[in-house]
Chain A
Amino acid sequence: MQIFHRSTNTISRVSLFGAVFFVGLSLWIFYDLEASPWTTQQNVAREQPVQFSHAHHAGAIGIDCRYCHTSVEKAAFAGIPPTKTCMNCHSQIWAQSPYLEPVRESFRTDKSLEWTRVHDLPDFVYFNHAIHVNKGIGCESCHGRIDQMPLVYQAARLQMSWCLDCHRHPEKQIRPKDQVFTMGYVPPVDQATLGPELVQRYHLRSRAVLESCSTCHR
């Protein structure tokens, strides 16, 4: 006697396969979502209190990064310029521009401008700008073509696997120290030989040290 209909065979096969497929799909969705700009905020330009354009200041005019980000070579934090830095120029040029009213207001009232943080690492990560800049890692390697961004967005994923890619293979990203602040640096064709050479010359720590958890987490 036949209890089950013939189609049961198909249904059971499909559901078995379907279960595996479903689990795989959920994992894939989860993984993809986790690495997506929805989570990482990659490539999302942020609204700022002043319509400050890096493309204009760093790109078109060519102001050095360090004119504003003064502590990038000596401290963990690169530094966000005080209002005074803006007013160095803008008390003379564009002094009446309505776009710059928030800046003048801040200077007048002694109240800080409140910028939205674009590159925000979790609080248990202790990133240090000085050591990267001094070991031949260019601004561009993490921040992208800032000189072409009217509004700054986060160019890289900034997730741990992305950090580790470079901590494991710094020779692929390292550049001569005099090129650290260059935007649009093109690695030479012999990066494969130059990279390891620079790693040696700049005394980068061994991979084991760069990979150790306490290098970034405290």
Chain B
Amino acid sequence: MSGQGLPLPVFTPGRTAAPAEPEPLDFDGLKKRLDGERGAGYWRSLEELAKTPEFAAALREIDNGRNLEEGFDRRDLLKFMGVSFALAGLTACTRQPAEKIVPYVRQPEQVIPGGKPLYFATAMTVSGFATGLLVESQLGRPTKAEGNPMHPASLGATDLFGQASLYDLYDPDRSQTLQYLDEIRPWAAFLGAARKAAGEERATGGAGLRFLTESVCSPTLASQLASLLRDFPGARWIEWEPAGRDNVREGARLAFGEYADVVADLAKADVIFSIGSDFLSCGPGNLAMTRHFSRRRRPEGEHGPMNRLYVVETASTVTGANADHRLPVPASRVEDVVRGIAKALGVAGSGANGSVASSPNPFEAAVAADLKAHAGRCVVLVGPEQAPAVHALGHAMNQTLGNFGKTVRAIEPVDARPSNQLTGLVELTRDMAAGKVSTLVILGGNPVFTAPADLEFSAGLAKVKHRIHLSPHVDETSAACQWHIPQAHFLEAWSDARCFDGTASIVQPLIATLYQGRSAHEVLAALQGAPEASGYEIVRAFWRGELGTDFETRWTRALHDGVIEGTAFPDKPVRMAESPGGSGPSGVAPGGASASSPPAGDPASPELELVFRPDPKLLDGRFANNGWLQELPDPITRLTWDNAALFSIETAKRLGIRKEDVVELKLRGRSLKAAAWIEPGLPDGTVVLNLGHGRTRGGRLGTGTGSNAYALRCSDALWSARGLEVRNTGVSHPLASAQLHQNMEGREIVRAASLEEYQKNPAFVHEKEKEPEPSLSLYPQYPSDTYAWAMAIDLSACVGCNACVLACQSENNIPVVGKDQVRRGREMHWLRIDHYYGGAPANPTHFFEPVPCMHCEKAPCELVCPVGATVHSAEGLNDMVYNRCVGTRYCSNNCPYKVRRFNFYHYSTQFRAPSMRMLANPDVTVRWRGVMEKCTYCVQRINGAKIDSELADRRVKDGEITTACAQACPAEAIVFGDLADKNSRVAKLRENPRNYGLLSELGTRPRTTYLGSVRNLNPALSREVQTDFPHTELDTETGQK
């Protein structure tokens, strides 16, 4: 499969042919323009800056598919009107079909049919690490995932994957039956084959037996594997996680001489220095880190003074976008920059490489000075893509700064059996190719797709006699194995898992297996001759041994709480390992294969670097068939349904590449075709390609989107590779980016200031605004004797992680519309996150702004609806009445915030698939074609809480109602409540000087308001937010001044 790119999906643009040859961007003019007008500052795309015709085209709010100006004559119009009128009338003449009521025969305790849902604590694992969830169960079907406030990795919040896990559960493309060579077989047939294979292996002590798993942090699974390895002493257990943490583990071993996990507590950190660590969007403990990071982002200082974030990174990530100072650095130069900072900090033995300048550049000097000034109150974080040496440097810096025991602590590794996974996989493929492997049991994962291309994993696999694969889909690896066992979803099977700090949780199922799914525990038990053991018995038996006395009580409590008490790992004393020469910690000294040498060659066409990173949505490709994740815009590029080769502006200019050009990437004799995208803020000479796209057997949604980056990924260059050649094929591949959708045309939307400016003028957001007096309105005030619902969104706290968008989608039955519709601007997300750039395009500042319905007190949409389908409620909600709506779309036209979404097609038919209909929230109407919809402030939750409060004859308390977006938010950026209650959190936030209404100069009096964004800039580095960072003074090709 390596060697060439996948055929790109055929796209038919329909009637809207692209405008003739698009003009290439005039970058020089663009630069001048920016230099000229600093004031406005914020922009959303390069096209907007350059004011190109594409941008003008994108401004048309929604592409209607059929253009009225062309080929629509009077007769057609009359025909269409006649037919629509007749059909509209006829459909109203239906009688309701008879419905059945099917009660229980014996009703279980606690269950109230059609009444109140139940919540169960469970945990989801991604790459081995657990996040605690509370999952809503409506009559036995899981319908919504929320965070578990008692779980240390969740603290009540959820990330994208937690929210999207329900879509995976009901995915109609999930594997449903056990298969042998594509034929359906019963479980008993597999048991027979397994017994036979095990018998053969036993004869040789298991010399030919291999187990290949994903990262395992499940104590039960680890103990099962250990016991199997005792039974088969010759067998081997290999773990492979394509977007894994090998570098983290090896870095710790380099620094401490043994494996250890280092956990950071950002609540105590005044200064955070991230070296390519995207801790705000993925990785173990990301939700807890975001919570503690964001609490310290508010300039009011409720939880301590505002922290400051420095980021050195290659690809643009959510964390980089939240940085106060970000330095884009090519992957091969990161170590030099870090070494420069380490040296300035006085880390022993961090001695410079030849290429590092003797005096640090201003960025390095400023970071080092700031870290030093906050010794013991700062953190250095290193991302898993960085080389082990950089991790060792990170540990050494934390050590030198005295952060251990204060902001960071070392614990025993959470991995059940820490190892170098890549080495294991290389050995496995070598053994397979040599014919030494006779039985390979693959438990989860998709190694045929994800193994480095140079290992030729599938060629080796073909030589294995017995190949068994457990996976949720019939994927690339299943196709290469004889036995395929459908894997039970985590909401269907018992298991357990540890989270980032070692706390263990029981993974509790909420529903019996929908199909014939089995868990890894059950498959291993079958191989061990206990085919009837259920997952429940296996997990319980393990914990019976661990929990000891009073087991039943502790077990029940663990199930109820979602965490097993007292399982968090204690601090582990670590010492920096001394290097043999005694000149400082080992692993810190420069040298080794990973140390960089200056790029050679012609400076006019310097060598290109290819950088891989896990996709923020699909991760390593495991979520490729998840429609919610596919359609979710990437946090930075806002791309949906695709990945793209990302180029910096200068590199694209040099190579003559425009957006959406298909480029051929050639690396070490392998080549891949990918669509190009220009991303401001990337280092020059770098091409970024996300992993996980381009699946060949990924299901109906996952197959064929984007390009398979694994085809270019080699085992000695897992994260970045030099020597990339790029050729423009001259073909164009349309990409669906939501960046320009719902554009608000350069008005004062995002308001930001530096901490200094904020301290001088806390009400900086109101500098330019003239909000009209309420008395100027001709329309009457709404009654104020009842609740007044409102929302406040703190832009300083919001990190732009997108969890709220998926939470809203899950709660409100929002359909997925597909790439073609997204390209036409018809995505249905009720809540969108606008992404703004500020400053010069070479290294812009990023701002995120979640935009739900504003629930204007004087709503422009209500006045133009001819049928009264959108009206105001007494409590200030802008109600949308679906069954009155006739689809004129006047309301959307008149909405200044562009928050209304129209069902151009019968998108909700996706809820009719037998499994998908179980996904829908029964408390929210499923909308049909021709109906407008929009954010309701989760009116179903408001009504539920109101009814509960009235049954108890009291008012709704503050915090009793959380909207889905606010509940998911790890940053606590969204607050919902009652304005009429002067003590509510939202009423207090409205009093905050940073509070402003979007376009409130129009007199709409929005109920959703924003708190202006504040960045804590280092005065030594820059003066204002828009100012770009010393990067521009640096020649990024050489990293030197």
Contacts and interface: CB of A to CB of B under 8 A. Distances in A.
Given A75-B116, A117-B98, A208 B925 contact: no
A218 B947 contact: no
A77 B112 contact: yes
Interface string A127-149: 01011001100000000000000
A172 to B, nearest CB: 20
A123 B926 CA distance: 9
A214 B950 contact: no
The size class of the interface chain A forms with chain B is 35 or more
Interface stretch (B57-65, B306-314, B875-883): B875-883
A122 interface: yes
Contact of A217 (B105, B107, B925): B925
Contacts of A117: 98-101
Interface string B998-1026: 00000000000000000000000000000
Given A206-B785, A213-B873, A213-B881, A128 B947 contact: yes
B79 interface: no
Contacts of A135: 950
Given A122-B883, A217-B882, A203 B105 contact: no
B107 A82 contact: yes
Interface in B94-131: 95-96, 98-107, 112-116
Contacts of B936: 214, 218
B924 interface: yes
Interface stretch (A8-16, A105-113, A191-199): A105-113
B114 A76 contact: yes
A214 B925 CA distance: 12
Contact of B105 (A84, A115, A214): A84
A28 to B, nearest CB: 16
Contact of B951 (A114, A134, A212): A134
Contact of A214 (B101, B112, B879): B879
Interface in A176-211: 203, 205-206, 208-209, 211
Given A206-B786, A213-B871, A106 B943 contact: no
B115 A203 contact: no
Contacts of A128: 943, 947
B112 A114 contact: no
A112 B102 contact: yes
Nearest to A135: B950
Contact of B115 (A46, A74, A112, A122): A74
B786 A209 contact: yes
Interface in A52-90: 71, 74-77, 79-84
Contact of A79 (B100, B113, B874): B113
A126 B943 contact: yes
Main secondary structure of the interface of B (DSSP, over half): loop
A7 interface: no
Contacts of A116: 98-101
Contacts of A114: 100-102
A120 B783 contact: no
A218 B923 contact: yes
A39 interface: yes
B953 interface: yes
B24 to A, nearest CB: 49
Nearest to A117: B99
A87 B783 CA distance: 53
Contacts of B107: 82, 84
B874 A217 contact: no
Contacts of A76: 114-115
B101 to A, nearest CB: 5
B369 interface: no
B538 interface: no
A26 to B, nearest CB: 12
B940 interface: yes
- Lowest 4 CB-CB distances: which A-B pairs, in order? A75-B115, A77-B114, A212-B873, A208-B874
Given A71-B112, A126-B943, 14 more contacts: A79-B103, A79-B113, A82-B105, A112-B104, A122-B96, A131-B950, A203-B950, A213-B871, A214-B877, A214-B879, A215-B943, A218-B923, A218-B924, A218-B939
Interface of A: 38-39, 41, 46, 71, 74-77, 79-84, 106-107, 110-117, 120, 122-124, 126, 128, 130-131, 134-135, 203, 205-206, 208-209, 211-215, 217-218
Interface of B: 95-96, 98-107, 112-116, 783, 785-786, 871-875, 877, 879, 881-883, 923-926, 936, 939-940, 942-943, 947, 950-951, 953
30 contacts: A41-B96, A71-B114, A74-B112, A76-B115, A77-B113, A79-B103, A79-B115, A83-B106, A84-B104, A84-B105, A84-B106, A111-B105, A112-B102, A114-B101, A114-B102, A115-B102, A116-B101, A120-B96, A122-B96, A122-B883, A124-B883, A126-B940, A134-B951, A208-B783, A208-B874, A209-B786, A212-B877, A212-B879, A213-B881, A218-B943
